[in-house]
Structure 1
Amino acid sequence: MDPYHHGELAVQKRAGLAASARAVSAAIMTEVPDVAAEFLAAQPMLVVGAADHEGAVWSSLLTGEPGFITVDGPSSLDIAAAPSPGDPLHATLTGRTRLGMIAVEPGTRRRMRMNGTARPHGHGLAVELEQIYANCPKYIQKRVPERRPVTPGVPRRGHALTAQDIVLVEGTDTFFVATADQDGNADASHRGGNPGFLRVLGPDRLRWPDYVGNSMFNTFGNLEVNPRAGLLVPDWTTGTLLHVTGTAVVDWDPAHATVLPGAQRVVDFTVREVVRVDHASPLRWSAPQYSRFNPPTAPEGTGT
């Protein structure tokens, strides 16, 4: 079976990278190799993405002591964690859900992407995988975690970014984006760059550059058939998580990309709903060592 759906194939062709995408598709596996199982067992966090019961796509973070992600079959995971009641994916993951996942290890700049179907299991989730593959280390900022006891704040909900949210977004060097195809099959992906690469155009408008990637175009392929997307912006020093859902459009105009250094394309995001949970994560991270692949950030006032 072709590992790509028609939206991904269309975007690969438009970008002129269909041959490259076909070549790298050999990395997509259906069973978890031993090296991947060892990697997952060492991780203290897992980013997940899914569409909720109304079709809105959200991204969130699961955490635990290393070992909370266990490979318990050739294509199955046991995750000893689930979203808290204030999390936008809490209700969604109480039932059978198409789930996208990405495990990122900032200390080594390694990452592993997975997708499949999750169901509640014990105090966590059981996931039957359909795809698993490693991604390149580009744009990952190197950080080392420390675990601290926390009491998550009360979730704050709204339909636009607050001034406090904007400060977090404008200073971030990393966020995660979840998307889904027309059938709800979800994907979770990492985006990284120098602070300022995720631009705030207004309380309900964001923009970011699309840098050179692996040519699979999983995110863009989903957006080709379903514009809904969910962003997760973590505060690495406080454990605060900013969840944003809305719609994303890929701007293919080369003139718009050229004003953002390193950009191949530009993505415009419209905010529909925001959930902020202060101190949601028990993980605190060291100051970043920025990736040498990060392009410089464009001056304020350009690309708006």
Structure 2
Amino acid sequence: MLEQTRQDASSPWHEGELAMQRSVGVVERMDGPGRNFLRKAMPEQHRAFFPMLPFVVLGAVDAKGDVWATVRAGHPGFLASPEPEILDLTLSRDAADPADAGMEDGDAIAMLGIQLETRRRNRLNGVIHRTEAKAFHVRVGQSFGNCPQYIQPRSSAFVRDPDLPTAMAPLHSGQFDDRTRRMIEDADTFFVASYVDRDNGERQVDVSHRGGYAGFVHLSADGVLTVPDFPGNRFFNTLGNFLVNPKAGLVFVDFKTGDMLQMTGRVEVLLDSPEVATFQRAERLWRFTPEAIVLRPDALPLRWSVPRDL
């Protein structure tokens, strides 16, 4: 499937995204949106949006090539855009966060700004320029918005100063225990990071939201996650990345406790599995096999309400 896409060199989409679009017959229809919506700079509404947020979702790649997703919090204003091509982050290094290893000067990074209470979300990716441990800025490679589908609306509040780290140590493991299994099986939301290395040598990282009713992710007895892919915008950023580079980083947040469950591992995309019929509304599935798991109790200084009815 991927070989068929190499003729589309001028497309705004990479070969994996094109392969996914071709699988559902929308390559021509998605060419225009790709050229119009994948911007090299943030529009004004995005520049105004990011400074309002008390947290941001990040995707980063460590020195081994493993990709991690994380959630980092700060007082609103810790994200700022001094110009359309730049997003500044006032964010200290965090050795407890496995994603932090991929946030060096010159590293590629992805960001998702999401406001759960209003169901707004905007994404960007780019390259880090870092001159100090407490801050860096990102030069935008791509900036684009997403629709509010599958976002469970909930409000948040700080329970401690976001500049004060938790006193609880991270727990590293190669498998899930009862506690981490419950975090996955009860979840209605998680975030996923992925990446590709483009033909021009640039690394393109992505991080995105996945949501559904509580229990929408299936966790098998052997620790493999099966995730339904619901109808969406047909960009296929995440699944397209998986076809080219079958690596993923997932993060689940316990919205009641601030615990974070982070994992990195390998992915398989299932385009026509008969198992899809067991997941309501799903169009296809993907499977994730974790290779490293990190539970970080009380990692986030925020607590969220239960989801409101849509």
Match for 1:117: what amino acid?
V
Are the counterparts in 1 of residues 104 and 128 from structure 2 also a CA contact under 8 Å?
no
**2:238 is equivalent to residue 219 of structure 1:** yes
In the alignment, the residues of structure 1 paired with residue 282 and residue 261 of structure 2 have an alpha-carbon distance, to the nearest angstrom, of 25
Q: Deviations over 1:151-174 (max 9, x none)?
A: 242011011112110011100100
Query: Residue 94 of structure 1 aligns to a residue in which SS?
Result: coil
Are the counterparts in 2 of residues 152 and 281 from structure 1 also a CA contact under 8 Å?
no
**2:213 is equivalent to residue 194 of structure 1:** yes
Alpha-carbon distance, 1:203 to partner: 4.7
**2:66 is equivalent to residue 66 of structure 1:** no
Structural mapping, 1:20-99, within 5 Å: 20-25=29-34, 26-99=36-109
In the alignment, the residues of structure 2 paired with residue 83 and residue 176 of structure 1 have an alpha-carbon distance, to the nearest angstrom, of 21
Structural mapping, 1:71-150, within 5 Å: 71-122=81-132, 123-149=134-160
Alpha-carbon distance, 1:83 to partner: 4.6
Are the counterparts in 2 of residues 82 and 90 from structure 1 also a CA contact under 8 Å?
no
In the alignment, the residues of structure 2 paired with residue 121 and residue 102 of structure 1 have an alpha-carbon distance, to the nearest angstrom, of 23
Query: Residue 89 of structure 1 aligns to a residue in which SS?
Result: helix
In the alignment, what sits opposite 2:6? Answer: none
Are the counterparts in 1 of residues 113 and 121 from structure 2 also a CA contact under 8 Å?
yes
Alpha-carbon distance, 1:81 to partner: 1.0
Q: 12, 15, 24: which one pairs with 1:6?
A: 15
In the alignment, what sits opposite 2:170? Answer: 155
Runs of 4 or more, structure 1, over 4 Å off, are: none
Query: Residue 68 of structure 2 aligns to a residue in which SS?
Result: strand
Q: Deviations over 1:43-101 (max 9, x none)?
A: 11110112211011100112111111100122111101145111002222133211111
**TM-score (normalizing by structure 2):** 0.90
In the alignment, the residues of structure 1 paired with residue 173 and residue 187 of structure 2 have an alpha-carbon distance, to the nearest angstrom, of 20
Are the counterparts in 1 of residues 67 and 99 from structure 2 also a CA contact under 8 Å?
no
Give ranges in structure 1 of 5+ residues lacking alignment.
292-304
Identity %: 34
Give ranges in structure 2 of 5+ residues lacking alignment.
1-9
In the alignment, what sits opposite 2:204? Answer: 185
Are the counterparts in 2 of residues 204 and 272 from structure 1 also a CA contact under 8 Å?
no
Query: Residue 262 of structure 1 aligns to a residue in which SS?
Result: coil
